[in-house]
A and B are shown apart, each in its own frame.
Chain A
């Protein structure tokens, strides 16, 4: 759901960076408290995720590095540091660390009821804030400079959006894991964008696809032994994306192709009809018969198109002659007017 905003911001990498940045937080939280209690660990993830994000912001603003560079830098820095800490923890003798690597790839099976409650609560808070600041989010995403001239505090809106993206990511870590989290954030949004042109609908669909992938993925991985939940969920989400890219009615590849072929056919018909119209116009009687032969030199004319025009009752064919019907004449003259109008 919140992924929609990341996609529209062209900051798709941000999700990746945040989830990787969360790793050292988990490790540090474990080192300090020695506990495996997921709330503590997630708090650590949240803090280091936020630090990472605002560092990225700072780097982009202060130096003139491109945003990809800054993201990549923070991503590898934090992830490397996190891995280092994890190895260190694993070498420790008291090792009840076994649970920590679940944050790498995720394991929904280890979710406790309290974790699920936490997710539900945070999700509803996000939803509430989203609805409350809907107008502000929309205009900031579309045109940040303009938003500023209207007197809105753009920094505040920006921080709000970012915080919620970080929150969503951190919560998802347990289920999907650090490595695949960004895919989980972006895939539903990318799929949703294919189906709709309205921001509201897009966010709703993304949430739906996301939830569906989650449920379905978990079900599959639970029914098969030894399948990690995270990858399965992401694969299900990926299937949504592929399906959407191919089949969506307005942006999908399949329908684009079909429309293209249909348009080309229509165009051929129209061109032939227009040509006939020109000939027929020179006669007082529009239904005056003409030889089919004179059409032969005309580009775009085939026997097939003539037959189709006859099927549509635009022309009648008698032997080697054709003549325009009243209906055909009308259609053709409409086509003409339309064309000159659209050129105005």
Chain B
């Protein structure tokens, strides 16, 4: 059976100054996978996601979502940024932030109404943050803020989710809660792409993986390509993970 391709990237090259931080990336992500992007710090993982989402302008290359240019398919895509990318002292509540996920479908000027609020409350419930809905975002813990971001993406009701280190600084319980939500998304035939740092948990959480370090090292099913050879190529040092069978 041939799978549909959800995201297709051709010849993507991105640079902040002169030196490219992403070099000639070709990548196909099949529909319905739960994919990890792994690579060392500074490998360009966040840059890759930002370029796919049009936040950064690449020097060259193209991104298509279900065979159409990204710009036409925005509503199919949701984004969970790295938590540190915003100022959490901003005067607003948890519910308000989650509501922002509905702004895209509302479009210009129109205000969110009852329907949007209901959707936001449901998303908060899903991530277990309903009791905190009126809480100031500055008074949430790091893991709770992360869940708020996740809820905001869930509200978008997209087909493809990009998440930049959603497990950063969360405890074991939250990590399991989040991964269960991601697995549920996969069950609903959604495609989920996650920047992930903990190599030990890759085989347990994900079914697809991309190794990245400026260039694409490898991409494919975890059970086929998640091995010491690729890890060594990506991380430079002689890498050994004990993969539990």
B53 touches A149 (CB 8 A): yes
Could you tell me the distance between the alpha carbons of A197 and B134 in the complex, rounded to whole angstroms?
11
Asked if A148 CB lies within 8 Å of chain B CBs, one says: yes
A132 touches B109 (CB 8 A): yes
Q: Which of A148, A151, A197 contacts B91 (CB 8 A)?
A: A197
Could you tell me the distance between the alpha carbons of A80 and B97 in the complex, rounded to whole angstroms?
44
Q: In the assembled complex, how far is the CB of residue A150 from the closest CB belonging to chain B, in whole angstroms?
A: 3
**Hey, which chain A residues are within 8 Å of B54, CB to CB?**
148-149
Could you tell me the distance between the alpha carbons of A166 and B50 in the complex, rounded to whole angstroms?
31
**Hey, which chain B residues are within 8 Å of A132, CB to CB?**
109
**Hey, which chain B residues are within 8 Å of A142, CB to CB?**
86-87, 90, 92, 97, 100
Asked if B74 CB lies within 8 Å of chain A CBs, one says: yes
Q: In the assembled complex, how far is the CB of residue B133 from the closest CB belonging to chain A, in whole angstroms?
A: 14
B100 touches A202 (CB 8 A): no
Q: Which of B17, B55, B90, B92 contacts A145 (CB 8 A)?
A: B55
Asked if B79 CB lies within 8 Å of chain A CBs, one says: yes
Q: Which of B74, B86, B111, B136 contacts A151 (CB 8 A)?
A: B74
A149 touches B79 (CB 8 A): yes
User: Which of A141, A147, A148, A151 has the most C-beta atoms of chain B within 10 angstroms of its own C-beta?
Assistant: A151
Asked if A199 CB lies within 8 Å of chain B CBs, one says: yes
Q: Which of A134, A147, A149, A199 contacts B92 (CB 8 A)?
A: A199
Q: Which of A149, A197, A199, A202 contacts B77 (CB 8 A)?
A: A149
Q: In the assembled complex, how far is the CB of residue B31 from the closest CB belonging to chain A, in whole angstroms?
A: 20
**Hey, which chain A residues are within 8 Å of B90, CB to CB?**
8, 141-142, 199
**Hey, which chain A residues are within 8 Å of B104, CB to CB?**
149-152
Q: State which residues 15-63 of B face A: CB under 8 Å.
A: 17, 50, 53-55
A149 touches B74 (CB 8 A): yes
Q: Which of B91, B97, B106 contacts A196 (CB 8 A)?
A: B91
Q: A133-B109, A148-B54, A149-B79 are in contact. Are A199 and B74 (CB under 8 A)?
A: no
**Hey, which chain B residues are within 8 Å of A152, CB to CB?**
103-104, 108
**Hey, which chain A residues are within 8 Å of B92, CB to CB?**
138, 142, 197-199
B103 touches A150 (CB 8 A): yes
- How many A-B pairs have beta carbons closer than 8 Å: the answer is 77
A146 touches B136 (CB 8 A): no
We find that the number of chain A residues with CB closer than 8 angstroms to chain B is 27
B91 touches A202 (CB 8 A): yes
Q: Which of chain A's residues has its CB closest to B88's CB? A: A142
Q: Which of chain A's residues has its CB closest to B135's CB? A: A197
Q: State which residues 120-141 of A face B: CB under 8 Å.
A: 132-136, 138-139, 141
Asked if A311 CB lies within 8 Å of chain B CBs, one says: no
Q: A136-B108, A193-B91 are in contact. Are A143 and B81 (CB under 8 A)?
A: yes
We find that the number of chain B residues with CB closer than 8 angstroms to chain A is 31
Asked if B75 CB lies within 8 Å of chain A CBs, one says: yes
Could you tell me the distance between the alpha carbons of A64 and B16 in the complex, rounded to whole angstroms?
10
Bitwise, B83-118 to A at CB < 8 A (1) or not (0) is 001110011110001001001101011111000000
Q: In the assembled complex, how far is the CB of residue A178 from the closest CB belonging to chain B, in whole angstroms?
A: 29
**Hey, which chain B residues are within 8 Å of A143, CB to CB?**
81, 85-86, 100
Could you tell me the distance between the alpha carbons of A152 and B55 in the complex, rounded to whole angstroms?
11
Q: In the assembled complex, how far is the CB of residue B189 from the closest CB belonging to chain A, in whole angstroms?
A: 21
Asked if A10 CB lies within 8 Å of chain B CBs, one says: yes
Could you tell me the distance between the alpha carbons of A28 and B135 in the complex, rounded to whole angstroms?
52
Q: Which of chain A's residues has its CB closest to B82's CB? A: A145
Could you tell me the distance between the alpha carbons of A143 and B104 in the complex, rounded to whole angstroms?
13
Q: In the assembled complex, how far is the CB of residue A203 from the closest CB belonging to chain B, in whole angstroms?
A: 10
Q: In the assembled complex, how far is the CB of residue B245 from the closest CB belonging to chain A, in whole angstroms?
A: 33
Q: Which of B53, B78, B91 contacts A199 (CB 8 A)?
A: B91
A139 touches B109 (CB 8 A): no
Could you tell me the distance between the alpha carbons of A142 and B97 in the complex, rounded to whole angstroms?
9
Q: In the assembled complex, how far is the CB of residue A108 from the closest CB belonging to chain B, in whole angstroms?
A: 31
Q: In the assembled complex, how far is the CB of residue A156 from the closest CB belonging to chain B, in whole angstroms?
A: 10
Q: Which of A64, A150, A198, A199 contacts B17 (CB 8 A)?
A: A64
A146 touches B91 (CB 8 A): no
Q: Which of chain B's residues has its CB closest to A153's CB? A: B108
Q: A64-B17, A151-B74, A197-B91 are in contact. Are A145 and B100 (CB under 8 A)?
A: no
Q: A150-B74, A151-B75, A199-B91 are in contact. Are A145 and B85 (CB under 8 A)?
A: yes
**Hey, which chain A residues are within 8 Å of B77, CB to CB?**
149
A148 touches B17 (CB 8 A): no
Bitwise, B106-141 to A at CB < 8 A (1) or not (0) is 101111100000000000000000000000101000
Could you tell me the distance between the alpha carbons of A8 and B110 in the complex, rounded to whole angstroms?
23
Q: In the assembled complex, how far is the CB of residue A25 from the closest CB belonging to chain B, in whole angstroms?
A: 32
B81 touches A146 (CB 8 A): yes
**Hey, which chain B residues are within 8 Å of A202, CB to CB?**
91
Known pairs A198-B91, A202-B91 / 13 extra A-B pairs, C-beta < 8 Å:
A135-B106, A135-B110, A135-B111, A136-B109, A139-B100, A139-B103, A142-B92, A143-B81, A143-B85, A143-B86, A145-B79, A146-B152, A151-B74
Smallest CB-CB A-B distances: 8 pairs: A150-B104, A151-B74, A149-B79, A149-B53, A145-B55, A143-B86, A197-B91, A197-B136
Which residues of A are at the interface with B, using a C-beta cutoff of 8 A? 8, 10, 64, 132-136, 138-139, 141-143, 145-152, 193, 196-199, 202
Task: Please name 12 pairs of A and B residues whose Cβ atoms are closer than 8 Å in the assembled complex, sorted by A.
Answer: A133-B108, A138-B92, A139-B100, A143-B85, A146-B100, A149-B55, A149-B74, A149-B78, A151-B75, A151-B104, A193-B91, A198-B93
